[in-house]
Amino acid sequence: MTNRLPPAEHRILICDELSDAALAVFRAKGFEPEVRTGLSEDQLVAAVPGTHALVVRSATKVTRRVLEAADRLRVVGRAGVGVDNVDQDAATERGVVVMNTPTGNTVTTAELAIALITSLARHVPRADALLKSGQWTKKGLTGTELTGKTLGVVGFGRIGRVVADRALGLRMQVLAHDPFLAPGAPVPNGVEATDLESLLARADFVTLHVPFSDATRNLISRERLALMKKGARLVNAARGGLVDEQALLEALEQGRLAGAALDVFEVEPPAKDSKLVLHPAVIATPHLGASSHEAQHQVAVDVAEQICEFFLTGVANNATNVPAVGAEALRDLAPWVLLAEKAGALLAQVATKPVRKLELTIAGDIAQQDARHLPLALLTGLLKHQGADPSVNFVNAPVLARERGLQLFEARGPEEHGFHSSISVRASGEESQRAHTLTGTIVGRKPMITAIDGLRLDLEPKGPILITRHDDQPGVVGLLGTVLGAHRVNIRRIELGPATEMTPSGVGLATGILSLYEEPSAAVLSALRALEPVREVRLVRL
């Protein structure tokens, strides 16, 4: 359905610096946006009432407070990939579409990686600095040809595939690793798919193109750096935190690696006296991945065209929290969309290995509606926490799922579980992998998880949640509470279930689910795992 307001009556607020090309697109379609950059949260809260669309890049934070003040807001457009600066839960609850522009900087980021690889190979920055300091010398600047060398591409999504294509053009041998590609998934001619350890051991150059998550934190660890060939070179133009920076510095100082090129860092900007940044074998750039005229032009054009399309036709392209459907259908279904996405996120985090099969049942009144949003939301929530491209959304989730060998089966039926409407999900992987089940419903407009693996719950899927497997004996709750209390971690709610399985020694294993107000540190998790009756502690972030 189309929006009833004519274009000129829409109030569109551009909050960050954007190419003038975006203004030209809006005006060509009859819209007249307002540009107000550099607003604080208080200023944005005051400015947003009556606004129909916000256009941001990374600087402006669209918080829950801003969204609650936005009485007429329909869409937030992010000129770029990441939407960490937008509270998507709050937006979804209020039926506000959040959209990004996932393809505008693909080539630019890939080309930066290639530029860093070639610069490492020929010591370009060091040669430039020496000559400008008055030294005409080639000592220590003997490089290496790329032709015939092996490039390892870690993460074979949109950007990784462009990097591989360019490297093949340079006559390099290309290895690719992506843990979420299904076994036997097709790769381009000339590319060899392999496991990470083999890639690291064989590659002369390694370039990273994976999202940052708990699963990929320090992906290139001290142990994995030790697997790399002596004299190899590492490039990270993806996300800070993927590399153990201290371990990388040691590998460079010991001469085990010949060099590294880093566009991103665990802390940005890095310290001015950072030994890693200042190391002579390191090329360091200030997060330039998307910084090209072409990319900035394209993301500006993309976000303007998408917002115009949304207002003129009601279709939300590249939406990260809702599918491309009529905008007016969102308000009633928004809580269900959020519930399905949270269900996917939870199941991805409790599974010990990648989920390969999802079985979704939509039951009751909601099954009679156009609920095609829900399987897309389920896929998106799961893939975001299962190492997929960070730009995964309702549009590309089915494609990414197919690439990773993830199947989704949907069924609809009458009322179940005593609720007028509910959803149930079963997530499974390899045959030896334990399947997990989840049921949820909506109370008011609030998503609620009502069962996990047969354990009856009344769980709001938000914030950090601890899931424990412990001996079914008295006093366990007290032990957990004592550790959390000693570390000043406040518990929101505790749910306990009876023993559902037995250990080989005949001890029953029970489940505990603890909703917390703040995320526990690694030290707290270690203390919990050290408790004698506790067999497993898993932290879930929702």
pLDDT mean over 489-499? 87
Is 248 found in the same domain as 156? yes
CA 186 to chain centre: 24
Domain count, the chain: 4
Is 74 found in the same domain as 36? yes
Is 161 found in the same domain as 36? no
Residue 431 annotated to the active site: no
| pLDDT averaged over every residue in the chain | 90
Give the pLDDT score at 2: 40
SS3 call for 489: coil
**DSSP-assigned states of every residue in 428-481:** E-STTSPPEEEEEEEETTEEEEEEETTEEEEE---SEEEEEEEES-TTHHHHHH
Instruction: Say yes or no to pLDDT of 326 above 60.
Output: no
Is 506 found in the same domain as 457? no
Measured CA to CA, the distance from residue 69 to residue 408 in angstroms comes to 38
pLDDT higher at 480 or 105: 480
Domain of 333, CATH number, reads: 3.30.1330.90
Give percent above pLDDT 90 in the chain.
Answer: 67
Is 221 found in the same domain as 171? yes
pLDDT per residue as tens digits for the range 152-164 = 999 998 899 999 9
Instruction: Say yes or no to pLDDT of 406 above 70.
Output: yes
Instruction: Say yes or no to pLDDT of 174 above 80.
Output: yes
Instruction: Say yes or no to pLDDT of 10 above 90.
Output: yes
Is 157 found in the same domain as 276? yes
Is 129 found in the same domain as 258? yes
pLDDT per residue as tens digits for the range 351-366 = 888 899 999 999 999 9
Q: How confident is the model at residue 234 (pLDDT cuts 50, 70, 90)?
A: very high
pLDDT mean over 278-290? 94
Residue 359 annotated to the active site: no
Last residue of a domain, one of 462, 479, 514: 462
In terms of residue numbers, what domain contains 434? 328-462
**How many Cα atoms within 13 Å fall on the side-chain side of residue 75?**
35
pLDDT per residue as tens digits for the range 54-104 = 999 988 999 999 999 999 999 999 998 778 789 988 887 777 889 999 888
Residue 268 annotated to the active site: yes
Task: Give the position of tokens 């032709």.
Answer: 147
Is 116 found in the same domain as 176? yes
Give the pLDDT score at 223: 96
Is 90 found in the same domain as 23? yes
pLDDT higher at 403 or 162: 162
Is 91 found in the same domain as 3? yes
pLDDT per residue as tens digits for the range 465-489 = 999 999 988 899 899 999 999 999 9
Q: How confident is the model at residue 1 (pLDDT cuts 50, 70, 90)?
A: very low
Q: How confident is the model at residue 325 (pLDDT cuts 50, 70, 90)?
A: low
Q: How confident is the model at residue 508 (pLDDT cuts 50, 70, 90)?
A: confident
Give the pLDDT score at 152: 98
Q: Where are the alpha helices (DSSP H) in 319-396?
A: 330-350, 373-384
CA distances from 404 to 48, 177, 210, 349, 435 (A): 40, 12, 14, 17, 18
Highest-confidence segment of 2-6, 389-393, 442-446: 442-446
Domain of 474, CATH number, reads: 3.30.70.260
Instruction: Report if pTM > 0.85.
Output: no
Alpha-carbon dihedral sign for residues 383, 389, 392, 396: negative
Burial of residue 489, with CB atoms counted within 10 A of its CB: 0-12 exposed, 13-18 middle, 19 or more buried: buried
Which entry of 74, 94, 239, 404 is annotated as an active-site residue?
A: 239
Bridge partners, residue 283, by sequence: 261
pLDDT mean over 412-434? 85
Is 268 found in the same domain as 156? yes
Instruction: Say yes or no to pLDDT of 427 above 90.
Output: yes
Burial of residue 164, with CB atoms counted within 10 A of its CB: 0-12 exposed, 13-18 middle, 19 or more buried: buried
Last residue of a domain, one of 414, 433, 462: 462
pLDDT per residue as tens digits for the range 243-278 = 999 999 999 999 999 999 999 999 989 999 999 999
Give percent above pLDDT 70 in the chain.
Answer: 95
Is 258 found in the same domain as 385? no
Give the pLDDT score at 327: 52
Domain of 315, CATH number, reads: 3.40.50.720
Instruction: Say yes or no to pLDDT of 178 above 50.
Output: yes
pLDDT mean over 288-292? 88
Measured CA to CA, the distance from residue 175 to residue 202 in angstroms comes to 9
Contact 531, 471 (CB under 8 A): no
Which entry of 36, 279, 287, 492 is annotated as an active-site residue?
A: 287
Last residue of a domain, one of 299, 321, 343: 321
CA distances from 335 to 22, 90, 253, 290, 461 (A): 32, 10, 53, 34, 12
